[in-house]
Amino acid sequence: MSQSEAQIKTLDEVLRVYEDLHAEKIALRASDRTWTYAEMRAESARVAQGLLAEGVAPQERVAFLDRNIPEYFTLLFGAAMINGVTLAVNWRLAAPEMEYILNHAKAKVLLIGEEFLGQLAQMKLETITKVIVVGKEAGEYTRYEDWIGEFASDAPGISCKAEDVCYQLYTSGTTGLPKGVELTHRNLMTAMDIGAIEWAIDSSSVVMVAMPLFHIAGSGWALAGFTQGSEMVLVYDIDPAEVLRLIETYGVTNSLFVPAVLQILSAFPGVEKTDLSSFRRIVYGASPISEEVLVRSMRVFACEFAQVYGLTETTGAITCLAPEDHEPDGPRAGLLRSAGRPWGDVAVRIVDAETGKNLPDGEVGEIWCASAQNMKGYWSNPEATEEVYPEGRDADGIGFFRTGDAGYMHEGFLYIHDRVKDMIVSGGENVYPAEIENVLMSHPEIADAAVIGVPSDKWGETVKAIVVDGAGAAASDADLIAYCRERLAHYKCPTSINRVEALPRNPSGKILKTELREPYWVGRTRRIN
């Protein structure tokens, strides 16, 4: 049964619908445990009752901080049952970054894994009134199992509207501060409905959820399975041997991987001996893939492949390169350089960023898109929201969103060329140079700094810092990298540092990033990797 047939319009309806359809069907496998749809709904209802008892009101934020664990979903669905908003915090962040996000979102309840209690001890949280710990040791806080055990499994009966926010994710900010992306029930259900079709997911699917749940690629992919009544197999963290074991053991039919993970899995020793015959379709995206990795992956997994392009602000994918367009050795091999065609109700324009005028086929400009998938806005940041919706929005909230990516259209296919903004994509994670530059400039021995992305066969791009030493500077490259790692997530930190006498600037003082990047990207028509 498709989502549209099930008439699912809001997140709180998903488990109710599929409990009615097949209560005893397995909904989720994790750590060799299983939850049926009936069990998942009952536990989520207990969470909902618990959140009510903690005083969580409609549209207030509840936060999750851990790796991929099943309790994330009981919080997500439980919060939806009281018209709350789930905030998934990136566990790879440094404690100061986590603190900012939790305080900025005004989160009221925090569900956290015991692994991250050390980070919690470093934070000063302004609005959290209850901390619930998943694990054996909770210290001064409440264990999750003890907490939900106090509440009945009856759904509270609080209704949600399609336009209500139900999910909030934080992206790195162009000014150095993360922005909270508000996604509504309509955003999610629109994306999941078309995603299920493009990704060949239905009630018979066994869907592997391997990407981090704090990322739309992880949560969105999982919800595509839940909204179709599929069976989900949750991967705690990427361990190639364990991922391959789970695929073979449970007969996984569908999965989404970033190119870096495909590279690891397809080259893993013994992969050829793993039974991968259950696979129907693998979806990849979040960063470009090399032809070598793609061809090897297609050979190893011997199933259909589809590529997606999208952003957190667009609830994930807005284009898809279909399996029939994957012909590495065929006459249409050039399509592999594209990001596919717009899907569903998505409209794409290529726009001159200065004039706002549409550009013809084949000409590079900024990618703008409009659909019901586009976010409601940036939490508590109307100025930033207005900036990315330059033409405003209609009565239904639909308007063209500025992606900040540069590309062109050719015969209905979107080709990504470069970025209008300075963002770096490393291993599927978005990194804004301003964040790292702000940290580097706080070092007492650095007089000036610029950060760029340079090509990486494994990660797509890696972070390079170009710095100007201050008088008497003695800090080594390793010292500067360590300084960044104390204050930022490791994936954001420079992997290499160049020292120069001065940074190139235009007459207004802006650093010429294009000039800095050029030596590393020379000879590449696509200036993102």
Pick from 310, 306, 346, 297: nearest CA to 324? 306
Instruction: Specify the pLDDT at position 524.
Output: 67
Instruction: Specify the pLDDT at position 2.
Output: 45
CB–CB of 264/184 below 8 Å?
no
CA–CA separation, 408 vs 367, rounded Å? 8
Instruction: Specify the pLDDT at position 329.
Output: 85
- Residue 188 three-state SS: helix
Instruction: Specify the pLDDT at position 442.
Output: 83
Burial grade of 343 (CB within 10 A; 0-12, 13-18, 19 or more) = buried
Pick from 196, 219, 180, 190: nearest CA to 397? 190
On the CB side of 285, how many CA atoms lie within 13 Å of its CA? 30
- Residue 165 three-state SS: strand
Instruction: Specify the pLDDT at position 235.
Output: 98
pLDDT per residue, tens digit, the chain (529 aa), is 444 445 799 999 999 999 999 999 999 999 889 999 999 999 999 999 999 999 999 999 999 999 999 999 999 999 999 999 999 999 999 999 999 999 999 999 999 999 999 999 999 999 999 999 999 999 999 999 999 999 999 999 999 999 999 999 998 755 568 899 999 999 999 999 999 999 999 999 999 999 999 999 999 999 999 999 999 999 999 999 999 999 999 999 999 998 888 988 999 999 999 999 999 999 998 766 777 888 999 999 999 999 999 999 999 999 999 999 999 888 888 888 899 999 999 999 999 988 889 999 988 889 999 999 999 999 999 999 999 999 999 999 999 999 988 889 999 999 987 666 677 888 778 787 877 887 887 888 888 888 988 988 778 889 999 998 987 888 899 999 999 999 888 999 999 999 998 888 765 456 788 788 888 887 665 555 4
CA–CA separation, 510 vs 504, rounded Å? 8
Cα 331 to Cα 252, 334, 414, distances in angstroms? 32, 8, 18
Instruction: Specify the pLDDT at position 420.
Output: 63
Instruction: Specify the pLDDT at position 288.
Output: 66
* pTM for this prediction: 0.84
Q: Which domains does the chain have, with CATH numbers?
A: 10-237 (3.40.50.12780), 334-419 (2.30.38.10), 424-521 (3.30.300.30)
Q: What amino acid occupies position 79?
A: A
Length of the chain: 529
CA–CA separation, 116 vs 490, rounded Å? 16
310 contacts: CB under 8 Å, gap ≥ 6: 216, 285, 316, 317, 318, 319
Instruction: Specify the pLDDT at position 508.
Output: 46
* CA 378 remoteness from chain centre: 16
460: enclosing H helix or E strand: strand 460-469
CB–CB of 203/230 below 8 Å?
yes
CA–CA separation, 362 vs 413, rounded Å? 10
455 contacts: CB under 8 Å, gap ≥ 6: 461, 520, 521, 524, 529
CA–CA separation, 341 vs 197, rounded Å? 14
In terms of DSSP H, where are the helices of 239-301? 240-250, 259-266, 291-301
